Amino acid sequence: MLVKTIEKALNKQIEVENASSQFYLAMASWAETEGINGVANFLYRHSDEERMHMLKLVRYVNERGGRAEIAAIEKPPKKFESVQFVFKSLFEHEVKVSKEINELVDLCLREKDYTTHNFMQWYVSEQIEEEALARNILDKLNLIGNDKGGLYLFDRDLDTLTGKV
């Protein structure tokens, strides 16, 4: 059985994951309309992955006797200034999500909810991978700079990238 403080924190994380999915979906839509299809496909996949993170939390809360809540979220932006801006925003967002997850893990320890603490370790590991990949993509974009040929190749390569963000 979940204690109320943990249930509330997990519901907040459900909202964070839902907002992440929508944020990346908005980025994907923008990229697609800009003709950057590799970036768009990568971001569509990432949006789906964030939704799965949310669903995993929803199921956990419900299985543990709590009640998962799906809150309304803020509308994400529909325009972005550049591919570099998109991935800088993505990286910063992933760092913010990592902070939220770490705070939730800390709460689990303070509440002595070792079951939820154990469950959340998957998210901790996932965030390490997501931040590393986002940082790697940013590094590549910094190497490319304003080279349109480099951006073309980056876009094509990103479409085939199978790693997680």
Binding residues: 17, 50, 53, 94, 127
pLDDT, tens only, 32-58: 999 999 999 999 999 999 999 999 999
pLDDT, tens only, 72-86: 999 999 999 999 999
pLDDT, tens only, 87-138: 999 999 999 999 999 999 999 999 999 999 999 999 999 999 999 999 999 9
How much is the pTM?
A: 0.92
pLDDT, tens only, 137-164: 999 999 999 899 999 999 999 988 754 4
In b/e form, how buried is each residue of 95-106, taking b as 16+ CB within 10 angstroms? eebbebbeebbe
> How far is CA 38 from each of CA 34, 45, 86, 122, 157, rounded to the nearest angstrom?
11, 11, 13, 28, 7
Residue 17 CB neighbours (<10 A): 24
- Ordered structural domains, the chain, with CATH: 4-160 (1.20.1260.10)
pLDDT, tens only, 115-125: 999 999 999 99
Binding residues for Fe cation: 17, 50, 53, 94, 127
Burial of 79 (0-12, 13-18, 19+ CB in 10 A): exposed
